[in-house]
Amino acid sequence: MKSNTAVLKKPVISQQQIEALLVQRETLDSFKKRYELLENSVKATEQELIRLLEAGADVNADYELKIRSTERRFPHWKEHYAILANQVPSAPGTDEILANTSPSVSKVLVVK
C-alpha cells in the first residue's frame, strides 16, 4: 500500500542568490554615492548662477533664468503669538513680532 503523504521539500537559499544580493547592495551604495556627488554639484552650480545673476550678470542663452525666493519663519508664528497673547492672530503687536523675526530665505534658480 502506498502512502498519500507528500514529502515537503525544505527551501534552500543558494550561494548565487546571496552573491546576487550582495552585488545589488554594492551597486545601490555606489549609485547613492554618485547621486549625492551629483546633487552637491548641482546645488553648487545653482548657487554660483544665482550669485552671478544677483551681481547683474547678463544671460547669453536661449533660456530665461529667474530666482525664486521663499521666506520661512517660525512655523505658525502668528498662531503661536496669539496663543501666548491669548488674542486673535490679528492682535496688536503682531506686525512688531514679524518685523523682529528673521526669516530663513531659500533661493532656487528657475530655468525656462
- The 10s digit of each residue's pLDDT in 3-17 is 666 788 999 999 999
Contact 105, 69 (CB under 8 A): yes
**Weakest mean pLDDT among 7-21, 38-52, 79-93:** 79-93
In whole angstroms, give the CA distance from residue 49 to residue 57. Answer: 9
Whole-prediction pTM value? 0.60
Contact 98, 82 (CB under 8 A): no
Which stretches of the chain are assigned E, i.e. beta strand? 65-72, 104-111
Question: How distant is the alpha carbon of residue 84 from its chain centre?
Answer: 32
In whole angstroms, give the CA distance from residue 16 to residue 2. Answer: 37
Highest mean pLDDT among 3-17, 24-38, 77-91: 24-38
